[in-house]
Amino acid sequence: MPGGDMLLAMAKLSALCDLLDAFAPPCLAEDWDNTGLLMGDRSMEVGRVMTCLTLTPDSAAEAVDERADLVVTHHPLPFRPLAKITTDTVEGGMLWRLARAGVAVYSPHTAFDSAASGINAALANALKLRSAAPLNPTEDEPAVGAGRIGLLPTAATLEEVAARIREFTAAESVRVVGPVGKSIASAAVACGSGGSFIASAATAGADVLITGEATFHNCLAAQAAGLALVLPGHYASERFAVERLAEWLAKEAAGLAVWPSIRERDPLRTL
């Protein structure tokens, strides 16, 4: 594990929060979201940081076992207000064990999705989209916002676009909606569960929307709108980004031990 028993540099948690806030500004988060520092003492010293997509019993145990001082988790924990924090529930048990071990928790979530160098920007770059812009721009800053839409360098088939996304995200499999030979010139991206972006993508003239997952009825809505979908899975559409976040944080906070969770796994398997 990075750092081992070697002497590490230390940083104030407040300074790391400021660094992460600058990278993924909280103002970009959706109103319903719970982002930023979720648990911890801003005055504490941090030497070991783990990133993960989601805090699960496995990734939480890894943080405790490997003596992390801070976990940067994409998906917030807690997400909604908790009336009780006890080991009677999985969520409460994880928070209790992390707190007892002195592990702080920070989540950038939808701010990270929408940031200028965030997850959707990375997906757009992977497809080399030209004139990429937010699919749902913010009112104050049209240059940033949720999702991305742009033009492929040259038209490609839906099958080719799916293959590029599968390779970039290291997805085990990719599902599609639409004929595999469909010509794709304009593509929209929305990591995670992006069914709410289908109407925006169709209205903006996208030929395809790349998102992690969509419900059956979302797929029918896309099909009816003539919008193809590429679905690599929620985990694959975002996990690569927390790995990159660990690399970025290690450079920006030199001397700290930073690593992406090695115990985290996609709960879905293809048989």
Categorise residue 59: left if φ over 0, alpha if ψ from -120 to 50, beta otherwise: alpha
Amino acid found at 138: T
- Which residue has tokens 């702080």? 104
Q: What is the rounded distance in angstroms from the CA atom of residue 131 to the CA atom of residue 13? A: 37
Q: What is the rounded distance in angstroms from the CA atom of residue 114 to the CA atom of residue 41? A: 27
Amino acid found at 148: R
Q: Which residues fall in the annotated binding site?
A: 74-75, 113, 234, 238
Tell me the sheet residues that pair with 45: 12
Tell me the sheet residues that pair with 136: 146
- Which residue has tokens 């709410």? 196
- Report H helices in the chain: 13-23, 57-65, 90-100, 109-114, 119-126, 158-169, 198-203, 216-224, 234-252
Alpha carbon distance, N-terminus to C-terminus of the chain: 32
Q: Which residues fall in the annotated binding site for a divalent metal cation?
A: 74-75, 113, 234, 238
